[in-house]
Structure 1
Amino acid sequence: MEIPVVFATDENYIFYTVTAVTSMAENAAEDTFYRVYVLVSGELERGHGLFDCLKERYANLELRLLPVDGRAFEHVRIHNPHVTKATFYRLLLAGLLEEERCLYLDSDVVVGTDLQELYLTEMEGEYIAGVRDLWIDLLTKEEREARRERTHIPDLDEYVNAGVLVFDLKRIREDHVMERFCRHMAYDYPYEDQDIVNVCCYGKIRRLPAKWNLFTLFLGRVEELEERGVDGDAVRQMRERKGILHYATPFIRPWESERFLCNDVWWKYASVWSERPEYRKLQADMRQKEIGHSKEKMASFCAAHERVFVWGFTAFGREVCAGLMEAGVGNIACFLDRDAEKQKFTYCGKRVQPFDMERYEPGKHGFLIACRKSGKEVRRMLMEKGVRTEDIVCCIYKDKIYNQCLRAEYLEEGEGHG
């Protein structure tokens, strides 16, 4: 059986897309052949070596790049930092493909089974099929009502996550739904194109079994979902973990850390490309990020530098500073913070100062970023100014959810903040 499967990517997500396709090819049935379409724009329209490697390695798929005019998405509004404009490309599928039906998968998935069953989902006039978004069950009554009012969706119980979808392209064309998608791109939705899909397809959405979109965030929270009254079949499938794993939560993604549930599964498929420079760089970046999860590793990081600066005069930053000093770290120079009001303070004998790039000495100065919300932004800013990656560590805040998501061998180490 030939199955058309669509991904959308930009330069930042190429390796993740390749890993997703790899898992799909590795777990395909003998009679399954995947026609893979990758929606791209800009420089990627010329291709990429990793895509060529995929085509050479797997005889059970063909891969085509479909150019998308990125200018059509210049004015879309993005609220979530891990979301890129490429995710909006799926809204144009009915005009880009000739097929009557296709699967759409986000790049941050691992496909652990053959997709014939998913592709043959019975559709009775619905435009799309997807897995109900379990986040809805974790919202308070007030949050749920605010979300409903913001999107104007009458019943959020029908709301699906857009990371894995079956598209009935024929019916979408017949009913001019793509035009509806495009009109709604001008609206300010909190969950971007996912809201657009749910708003425009409301009443025409088929619900899929949970196994087709298993959020790794929820794998350690099954009991909590059960207490909230989540469907028993969904809970069972979360426990079984057989289907499509979706690494949609930024701080627990495999390339951020290997310590969370099922991240080892992602690295198993990524390691197919272990000889590629992209893989080696991703591994090195992940090892650097791992330092921020462990007080012992942060202490070693400090010992490898002459002076260390804690970025962020926050409760978390002060906790990091105090904890390291208690562990015997004696070379914390000061706090750094861009807030002039905070620059009046001193804590544990460490003043709060503005950042001065001219005083940075590569290899001698290290930065511990202790900002819960803006850590990645600060890291990116430091790197753009010329600070070496190996001189930067983002400290990870450990709350209840963090500990719920840990693999068993990391549980004891996980206890910490919050």
Structure 2
Amino acid sequence: MNREVAIVLTIENSAGIINIGSLMMSILEHTNADDVVKFYVLVNGDIDDDGKKILKKIKWYYSNCLINCVDIQKCIEIKRGEVTCEELDGYYRILCPELIDEDECFCLGSNIIVKRDLTSLYERKIKDGCSIAGVRSLEATWDNATNENLQTALGLDNLKQYIYSDVLLLNLNRMRQENFVGESITLLKNTPSLTFQNLINKVLFGKIDYLPLQYNVSNEYFLCIETWYTEIYTEEELYYADQFPVIVRFGHLQPWVNSRQRGSDIWWRYAEQLLEPQLIGQLKNLEKRESGSSLKVSLLGESKKYKSIVIFGFTKLGKDILDFLMDEGVEKIRCFCDNSMEKRDQLYRGMKVELLEQLKFNLQDTLFINVSQRAYNSIDNQLLRFGIQYENIFHFMNKKNIQYYMTLDDKYYRQELQWIKEREGDYNVDILNLPLEELEKMLKAKEPGEAVKYLIDKYWMNTWFLAPGRIS
């Protein structure tokens, strides 16, 4: 077939190679061996030795790729002091028409993974009169104050043409003719806080073509696909996005921070081919640390104030907290406490489970970490009645957010339900004593009882387990 596809990727520094490496592998795996993929990596500075090793491995796996690293520092006109942005590399894409010697190219963000061949889309020409093509934004169609303010700030007649910036097809010739780079930089200097996505939608308003939804399917809205309003997406688009997504966009957490989200397993498969074992271990430790990270930081701070630590609750979460504290070098942990006689004298990492009445050391200088998720009030009251001061009690609420469940891969549903069952098991709700299969049936019932409704609402089950088309 001998087609050539140009793809621009941007990273703020050499460390970003870790992220785009998996993306590059996913593109190449789904590209015909006779086709050539020309990667242009825009980076601030030189690629370090570790980054070069990753790129060398990619070329070893796939001989049909060319990788050209462009040091943006040598030609960039945007300075950090002039642009307030969390990810400066997003703005590097503005310079594509000047830096990339091609007629057209893909411009991809680093928070995506490719699941099917892109070359057919590359051959789809952007329609006449347009400089860019992207997938229309669902959020921009919502009738709310945020969009009203955005429309006013951008000075646009409407937001119906507004597109996402993660997956773009650029007509570089036309963008050069229209002086896109010069106009964009002038706009940025006058409005330095403008995001790249807002910038392209303002500068190129009226010159935007649309890509099918399957080329930018967001993890966070994936389960809502069948109920999306079809004013901007046709039913055919929704079907193909649901059944045959080409590009999946990760949620607000990257795959190494949340490996249970849809598409993360693909990212990790490529990462394990490219990265050294030591780095893989570091990334997995990062995910472990980021789980409830802000609360864990607070817990570490509190642990320094006391001579002894007791974890109240011999549960999976209690064990996870012990692992975290020990891994952080905390040596003050004395034992677990639990009201279950069946758990008494059990051991985990050398720590015994004891009843509260058995504790013989100075409890006034002891931090009690209450890991109960449903019965925390009764545990707090038990400790207070026993003479423990309220300030000595640290309640660890390990509640996951709605984005976690919305992006959760289907294959983890049963594990998550089991975890919920175990987590809520210290509260007297009869349904939690049922086998998991029976609990599933009750959750899916047309008229669930109050206890079932409580679980559905607390864990946003209508966004994942009970979402349309996703009932296992």
Q: Normalised by the size of structure 1, how large is the TM-score?
A: 0.73
Q: 2:78 aligns with which of 72, 76, 84?
A: 72
Matches within 5 A, 1:375-394: none
Specify every segment of 5 or more residues in structure 1 that has no aligned partner in the other structure, as ranges.
Answer: 309-318, 331-346, 353-366, 371-394
Question: Please, which moves more after superposition, 110-119 or 39-48?
Answer: 39-48
CA distance in 2 between counterparts of 1:126 and 1:115 reads: 20
Q: Which residue of 2 aligns with 1:260?
A: 261
CA distance in 2 between counterparts of 1:349 and 1:171 reads: 67
Q: 1:55 aligns with which of 53, 59, 81?
A: 59
Q: Which residue of 1 aligns with 2:161?
A: 158
> Are 1:302 and 2:321 matched, yes or no?
yes
Is this contact kept in 2: 1:226–1:232, CA < 8 A?
A: no
CA distance in 2 between counterparts of 1:185 and 1:320 reads: 50
Q: Which residue of 2 aligns with 1:6?
A: 8
Q: Which residue of 2 aligns with 1:179?
A: 182
Q: Deviations over 1:100-151 (max 9, x none)?
A: 11111111211112222221222212111111112223x3332221111122
* C-alpha spacing 1:270/1:191, structure 2 compared with 1 (3 Å): farther
* C-alpha spacing 1:57/1:229, structure 2 compared with 1 (3 Å): closer
> Are 1:133 and 2:152 matched, yes or no?
no
CA distance in 2 between counterparts of 1:78 and 1:155 reads: 26
Tell me the amino acid that sits aligned with residue 143 of structure 1. Answer: T
- Compute the displacement of 1:22 (Å): 0.5
CA distance in 2 between counterparts of 1:12 and 1:134 reads: 32
* C-alpha spacing 1:236/1:148, structure 2 compared with 1 (3 Å): same
Question: Please, which moves more after superposition, 6-15 or 281-290?
Answer: 281-290
CA distance in 2 between counterparts of 1:21 and 1:61 reads: 10
Q: Which residue of 2 aligns with 1:404?
A: 406
* C-alpha spacing 1:49/1:76, structure 2 compared with 1 (3 Å): farther
Question: Please, which moves more after superposition, 209-218 or 408-417?
Answer: 408-417
Q: Which residue of 1 aligns with 2:328?
A: none
Tell me the amino acid that sits aligned with residue 326 of structure 1. Answer: Y
* C-alpha spacing 1:154/1:397, structure 2 compared with 1 (3 Å): farther
Tell me the amino acid that sits aligned with residue 66 of structure 1. Answer: V
CA distance in 1 between counterparts of 2:320 and 2:102 reads: 53
* C-alpha spacing 1:326/1:98, structure 2 compared with 1 (3 Å): same
Specify every segment of 5 or more residues in structure 2 that has no aligned partner in the other structure, as ranges.
Answer: 297-312, 326-330, 334-368, 381-387, 421-454, 461-472
Tell me the amino acid that sits aligned with residue 165 of structure 1. Answer: L
CA distance in 1 between counterparts of 2:33 and 2:175 reads: 31
Is this contact kept in 2: 1:36–1:62, CA < 8 A?
A: yes
Q: CA RMSD of the aligned region, Å?
A: 3.5
Q: SS of the counterpart of 2:200? A: helix
Q: Normalised by the size of structure 2, how large is the TM-score?
A: 0.65
Q: Which has the larger radius of gyration?
A: 2
CA distance in 2 between counterparts of 1:397 and 1:42 reads: 41
CA distance in 1 between counterparts of 2:150 and 2:138 reads: 14
Aligned residues: 347
| Identical-residue share of aligned pairs (%) | 20
> Are 1:31 and 2:34 matched, yes or no?
yes
CA distance in 1 between counterparts of 2:23 and 2:210 reads: 23
- Compute the displacement of 1:37 (Å): 0.7
